[in-house]
Amino acid sequence: MKQSQLFTKTRKEAPADEQSLNAQLLVRAGFVHKEMAGVYAYLPLGIRVLEKIKKIIREEMDAVGGKELIMTSMQRKELWERTDRWDDENVDVWFKSALKNGADIGFAWSHEEPITDMMKNYIQSYKDLPVFVYQFQTKLRNELRAKSGIMRGREFVMKDLYSYCIDEQQHKSFYNSVIEAYLRVFERVELGDHTFLTFASGGAFTQFSHEFQTITEAGEDIVYLDRKKKLAINSEVLTDEVLNQLNVKREDLEEIKTSEVGNIFNFGTKKCEQLGLSFINEEGKEQFVHLGSYGIGITRLMGVIVEHFADERGMVWPVSVAPFDVHLISLCKDEAEKKQADELYEKLQTNGIDILYDDRDLRAGEKFADSDLIGIPKRIIISSKTLAENSVEVKMRDEEESVLVKIEDILRK
Amino acid sequence: MKQSQLFTKTRKEAPADEQSLNAQLLVRAGFVHKEMAGVYAYLPLGIRVLEKIKKIIREEMDAVGGKELIMTSMQRKELWERTDRWDDENVDVWFKSALKNGADIGFAWSHEEPITDMMKNYIQSYKDLPVFVYQFQTKLRNELRAKSGIMRGREFVMKDLYSYCIDEQQHKSFYNSVIEAYLRVFERVELGDHTFLTFASGGAFTQFSHEFQTITEAGEDIVYLDRKKKLAINSEVLTDEVLNQLNVKREDLEEIKTSEVGNIFNFGTKKCEQLGLSFINEEGKEQFVHLGSYGIGITRLMGVIVEHFADERGMVWPVSVAPFDVHLISLCKDEAEKKQADELYEKLQTNGIDILYDDRDLRAGEKFADSDLIGIPKRIIISSKTLAENSVEVKMRDEEESVLVKIEDILRK
């Protein structure tokens, strides 16, 4: 994409109404636009990052057998009443409205209820199980406060996966495969070393649920981390009994600020009992289905990535989720040189490299500052000086040194 | 995808609460699930069709210079008050709710206001123009009635594009390029011969707006079509004056039922005046920006495609938007044969062909009925009989005759 055709502009100053680093940088660089607190539009640079994150997660969810679908935002009151999650006293994040005929509706903040209710159409026998489905869905939550930029939204994108299993054993096996898949996701976005499987409180059916917590000063959570054992414990389950059980010593724990980028939860058979999702087992008897629920906050994860890698000059995207592979910056002045820059752009693009091409008439300093702010991992500079040596200058965003590379060798690099 | 792993099941009977053919077939075949009237979830087969339609439209919007972004569903009251489109008396399809601090919010049924308001951050000079942006967005509209399946939703997916131009001339040139792009879209989904540019009423700034109307008995619109001239007229502008102007004779017009799959509209400078989007022109004077708005109903288009191509046995997808390229149906019984079917599936998949593989243990008749209902354009049958000749049977969904093709030749076919 030619930067001259990208309508967004960078800003030198952070917007006064943004307290969080991720929102300040994302707004300044033109990745997002704030509609209201906790409600952000994703502009051309931002949507590219989101789609790259989604692609990684989609691949990992497909690999464990997930089937993609997309549920609806609009929700029926009577469905959520059956599980006691309609009343504002029980769930305080609903946005509600009404149809013209007066029927109450809500806008989905989660999807266990409608997916489980729908599955009654498709699950009748043990032969129909297991079923694993997932979606990328915009969730709406009426949060009291929203000051963490895209890390806590009133409108945000989530990947949620649901598993329907015959029994605890089948459930556990899938649950563990999702833990592995999630760890691969965080590895692929280069947060692997900073994201920890965290033991949190379970529910009626299971002692623990599991969170994936990434270390960040911008986080809203505090967990207790055993770095050596690579696990963390949420304060709500931090008891001597649990420490014993996990074979962790209190003195090895660090109190640390984190953001919850993922969580997985075992509902047991309770939700399916409430909603009437049962099947006939091999012995011909009726049994309730085991439900598991597995979330990753897509937009939150993007915010955590920004916070984690940013430096004083701007964002630094990991290669796997960068909006473009390469930022090609032309400092060429005369027409012949500009033509060579254009040709390089075409050539790289033809070879499947995704490029932001700064073809604007601006001073070098402004271009470099913009490039640092936007944070594309690899920068290629083409100028009179480099062309004099039939070369371009290549520099990684997170390194200081650049190298000259012959234009004819650039594709190999 | 192995059909044994697809959790959806087909139904023989249409659901009692669906009046429209598109919803009956899509529900029966497991493409969609009805959450409430006009509100449908898209299941694995359905989401594949949606994504293919979006891909075609994305390519055509990119080709005219559109930049993709995604705005928000949540909307600020004060913004829409400025254009007199907040009050229920002026716009009767709003779903509204409130933040915890009491502030009224609405859920977007359109996006001219927020995009135009946002553009004040990015458009200041004539050098910043033109700007073309588009999104695929879930719109919410509180429709009184929703009986046309996915052709009129309370929650539905729309592609909307917005153009910001210096003047009428720049606007017109882009407007015309979008007309061409839209015609290519409808051509690519094989509705080209049945979709007509339609003259409808304009507004303060222009005599006409334009609709794209597809002939279908399921449509909710009526237009007057001149087949030879390949244009249609909406009744609201059907006057002698207009007929003269368009060089159309009343006696050449057919009254015909259609569905509006797209529309394009010239707002002139009015919306930008109301919202304060201006720029400094080459003479250093302030001028208001020209706004155009261009929609295609993605889910509606999918419904129209179903209605248009369906026959008495089920759906018939055009190749370009089919959920899979090939439906591979195995009638193999013994293990050695099943292994050959599995190998063929792997081989076709490895070669980038998207396949639904019916590996289920069902009678041939049931498999064929399901396959006809689902409507994948090309069917490959592998059985003892075909394997005896080292062949498979290939049949198009919309043809009666099948041909035997040697397995070694299948990739070339």
Residue B137, phi then psi, degrees to nearest 5: -135, 140
pLDDT score for B217: 95
Q: Are A379 and A396 in contact (CB under 8 A)?
A: yes
Query: Which residues in chain B have their CB less than 8 angstroms from residue A69's CB?
Result: 41-44, 46-47
Query: Which residues in chain B have their CB less than 8 angstroms from residue A8's CB?
Result: 122
Q: Which residue of B has its CA nearest to A164?
A: B7
Task: Give the gap in angstroms from C-alpha B84 to the nearest C-alpha of chain A.
Answer: 19
Task: Give the gap in angstroms from C-alpha B245 to the nearest C-alpha of chain A.
Answer: 38
Query: Which residues in chain A have their CB less than 8 angstroms from residue B105's CB?
Result: 36, 95
Q: Which residue of B has its CA nearest to A79?
A: B35
Look at residue A205 and tell me whether its pLDDT is greater than 90. no
Contacts of B274 (CB under 8 A, 6+ apart): B82, B83
Contact residues, A window 143-202, toward B, CB-based 8 Å cutoff: 143-144, 154-155
- Residue A335 CA, chain-centre distance (Å), reads 43
**Measured distance CA(A118)–CA(A108) in Å, rounded:** 15
Per-residue pLDDT band at A203 (split at 50, 70, 90): confident
- Residue A287: how many other CB atoms lie within 10 Å: 17
Question: What is the per-residue DSSP string for B216-273?
Answer: -TT-SEEEEEETTTTEEEEGGG--HHHHHHHT--GGG-EEEEEEEEEEEEEEETHHHH
Question: What is the per-residue DSSP string for B318-376?
Answer: -GGG-S-SEEEEE---SHHHHHHHHHHHHHHHHTT--EEEE-----HHHHHHHHHHHT-
Residue A57, phi then psi, degrees to nearest 5: -70, -40
Pairing of strands A402-406, A391-396: antiparallel
- Percent with pLDDT over 90 in chain A: 97
Task: For residue range A247-278, list pLDDT tens digits in order.
Answer: 999 999 999 999 999 999 999 999 999 999 99
Look at residue A286 and tell me whether its pLDDT is greater than 80. yes
Is B6 within 8 Å of chain A by CB? Answer: yes
Q: Which residue of B has its CA nearest to A4?
A: B128
pLDDT score for B411: 85
- Tokens standing for B339? 């292994």
Task: For residue range A95-116, list pLDDT tens digits in order.
Answer: 999 999 999 999 999 999 999 9
**Largest alpha-carbon pair distance within chain B?**
82
Q: Residue B41 and residue A95: Cβ atoms within 8 Å?
A: no
pLDDT score for B204: 78
- Count Cβ–Cβ pairs < 8 Å, chain A vs chain B: 130
Contact residues, B window 119-138, toward A, CB-based 8 Å cutoff: 119, 121-123, 128, 131, 133, 138
Q: Are B151 and B134 in contact (CB under 8 A)?
A: no
Task: Give the gap in angstroms from C-alpha A196 to the nearest C-alpha of chain B.
Answer: 31
Is B71 within 8 Å of chain A by CB? Answer: yes
Per-residue pLDDT band at A204 (split at 50, 70, 90): confident
Instruction: Pinpoint the residues of chain A covered by CATH 3.40.50.800.
Output: 324-409
- Residue A145: how many other CB atoms lie within 10 Å: 12
CATH class of A324-409: alpha beta
Q: Residue B75 and residue A99: Cβ atoms within 8 Å?
A: no
The CATH superfamily label for domain B3-73+108-309 reads: Bira Bifunctional Protein; Domain 2 (3.30.930.10)
- Residue B151 CA, chain-centre distance (Å), reads 10
Neighbouring-strand partners of residue B291: B164, B268
End-to-end CA distance of chain B: 21
Question: Nearest 5 degrees, angle CA B323-CA B305-CA A69?
Answer: 40
B47, B97, B123 ranked by CB distance to A70: nearest: B47
Average pLDDT over residues A151-174: 97
Task: Give the gap in angstroms from C-alpha A386 to the nearest C-alpha of chain B.
Answer: 29
Average pLDDT over residues A82-88: 96
Instruction: Pinpoint the residues of chain A covered by CATH 3.30.930.10.
Output: 3-73+108-309
**Measured distance CA(B361)–CA(B335) in Å, rounded:** 12
ipTM of the complex: 0.96
Task: For residue range A313-343, list pLDDT tens digits in order.
Answer: 999 999 999 999 999 999 999 999 999 999 9
Substitution target from B1, B33, B117, B155 for chain A, most A beta carbons within 10 A: B33
Substitution target from A1, A18, A99 for chain B, most B beta carbons within 10 A: A99
Look at residue A120 and tell me whether its pLDDT is greater than 80. yes
**Largest alpha-carbon pair distance within chain A?**
82
Residues of chain B with confidence (pLDDT) below 50: none
B1, B47, B138 ranked by CB distance to A138: nearest: B138
Q: Are A31 and A10 in contact (CB under 8 A)?
A: no
Is B91 within 8 Å of chain A by CB? Answer: no
Q: Residue B69 and residue A128: Cβ atoms within 8 Å?
A: no
- Tokens standing for B303? 């419904």
Q: Which residue of B has its CA nearest to A154?
A: B74
